[in-house]
Amino acid sequence: MNHLRHPALLSFTYVLLVVIAIAGVAHRASADGTLPEPDYGELFSWPETPEEIGLPRFVGSEATRNPLPPIEIAPNYFLAEQGRNSLHGDTNNSDTLNYPAPLGIDPQVSSRQLGLLAATCPTVVFDPHGNVMTICIGVARVRLFLMDPHSLEVLAEQELPLRAWVEAGRPEDITSDSSGGGYFHADQFGRALVGVADQRIQRWEALQVKKKKWQWQLVDDYDLRPILNNEDAPLQDAIPDYAGRLWFTTQPGIIGYIDENTGDVEIFELNEFLQNGFAIEEDGGIYAVTVDALYRLGVADDGSIAVEWRKAYKNDGGQGDLLSTGSGTTPTLFGDDDDLVAIADNSAGRINLNVYLRETGQQICEFPMFDDGASATENSPIGYGNDIVLENNAGYPGPFGDPLLTVPGLTRVHVREDLSGCEQVWHTTEFRAQTTPRLSTDNGLIYTYSVKEGQPFEGLIPTYGWYFGALDWETGQRVYETWVGNGSFWNNVLDPITLGPDGTAYVGTKNGLMAIRDGKANGKGEKKQK
């Protein structure tokens, strides 16, 4: 048996790495034996360099810009500008941005450890000053951070309510539950808009009180407990639509909105479990996917919520150690004529990309993805023009398993202009990725984050290294990959890549956050890779 796949050895290895990691943080255990949070130092890499485990520091070559036409999405004036406001960049969930991004020129990496054993930071958005806002979810803490976009210095932090599984003592659920802060948004004033774990929607504003001192101030606090009347209905997401109605979803499938002018609340019960975020289009359409179906909802003349169409999809109920037992994708709005919506299903053996007309729900295609028996995804696709790029996450073992079990693969699919169906443009297996990829129209590159197998330490202990990389939009060919770190702390546990306005790329990890930028555009003197 391959020693890299041996369960007992892997368990031992993880425990060993945790012990090593704990020894590497600045804080020590207190007198009562508890482990405090770290002092926001760098993420811990073991072994320290890629050369120690026989891995390259850089693969490929510096990229040359090949710009694409900018993506055009109607601005939502109740949110920050496109690219700065959401986990997926915008309320279309396009995962496409017009920002510049690293070209692989003398790559610079900075990082911050924000939790001792776990602190996943899936959503990165930006305040009006360009500072990073993120919520990191740990084993025992949920915190809203304000961070310097270059150094990742923590400028302010705010404790948020704990999620139910924390109080129930189920830390194993840390990555099977994205409620209570996994999704949040930056509103039109750059404030953090988040549905917290105790069924409230809050707005937090970062205020600069001194030159280098910031603090969070609570601006709005909407208590939905009297409306929901259900203790087991954690908030999944909260987003304003183009008319200013503040929409929210819960995991049991309750969807609703708050009229902030009157305080009135409307709700509609889908009665189907909902794990993902949702999409909002300019004409008022709301797209939500449950474990059973994709919905388009709208607001009737009397203000009530109405189902405009419902499309069931194939669902086997079990495609690896993913977040949901249904579709792993947040609905993506796309199309040359702004007329398409896409999800991936959870079909047995081989998932499908499902594309529909937004207006009617008519299905354009049910396109098989990846290989039979090795096909699953938890990450929403890139949507640009009439094309979709979807990533394979089959075999993903969760945050504490062997990341090398994940099946590699990204595929680009084109929807024919006459809407007669879909066809594959390219497929690559160069990347064993566990992230929501991003497209930069500024340079024509798709960005991803992947893992490579290293040589066993002392001939016994499995090792792996993590790489930030880019591939060409047109061809799917790898352009470059740059090493960022080794070991468990650098596992991004399905967190997405975020592209910042200044060309920096951010990746959340199991224990914090990292930033990658080109060295020649740096100017801030960040520390180079070791």
163 or 206: whose pLDDT is higher? 206
Q: Where are the beta strands (DSSP E) in 313-444?
A: 332-334, 340-344, 352-357, 363-368, 382-384, 387-391, 410-415, 422-428, 438-440
Q: What is the mean pLDDT of the chain?
A: 88
Residue 190 · residue 174 · CB < 8 Å: no
Terminal C-alpha separation, the chain:
34
Q: Residue 116: what residue type? A: L
Residue 35 pLDDT > 50: no
Domain spans of the chain? 1-66+100-113+430-530
DSSP 8-state symbol, 164: H
494 or 9: whose pLDDT is higher? 494
User: What is the percent of the chain with per-residue pLDDT over 90, rounded to a whole number?
Assistant: 74
Span 219-231, pLDDT tens digits:
999 999 999 987 7
Residue 359 pLDDT > 90: yes
Residue 487 · residue 72 · CB < 8 Å: no
**Cβ-based neighbours of 11, under 8 Å, separated by 6 or more:** none
pLDDT band at 23 (very low <50, low <70, confident <90, very high): very low
Instruction: Using alpha carbons only, give the angle 123, 309, 313 rounded to the nearest 5 degrees.
Output: 70
pLDDT band at 39 (very low <50, low <70, confident <90, very high): low
Distance CA 54, CA 526 (A): 26
Residue 501 pLDDT > 70: yes
Distance CA 150, CA 66 (A): 26
User: What is the percent of the chain with per-residue pLDDT over 70, rounded to a whole number?
Assistant: 86
Q: What is the pLDDT of residue 339?
A: 97
Tokens 């049991």 sit on residue: 252
Residue 384 · residue 96 · CB < 8 Å: yes
Q: What is the pTM of this model?
A: 0.90
Q: Out of 119-123, 143-147, 241-245, 390-394, pick the least confident.
A: 119-123
Buried-state track 62-86, b at ≥16 Cβ within 10 A, e below 16: ebeeeebeebebeebebbbebbbbb
458 or 194: whose pLDDT is higher? 194
348 or 23: whose pLDDT is higher? 348
* Cross-strand pairs, 341: 333, 356
Mean pLDDT within 41-50: 93
Beta strands 246-250 and 235-240: pairing type? antiparallel
Residue 206 · residue 133 · CB < 8 Å: yes
Residue 37 pLDDT > 80: no
Residue 365 pLDDT > 50: yes
Residue 168 pLDDT > 80: no
Q: What is the pLDDT of residue 174?
A: 55
Mean pLDDT within 399-417: 95
Residue 111 pLDDT > 50: yes
| Nearest CA-CA partner of 373 in 319, 432, 434, 412 | 319
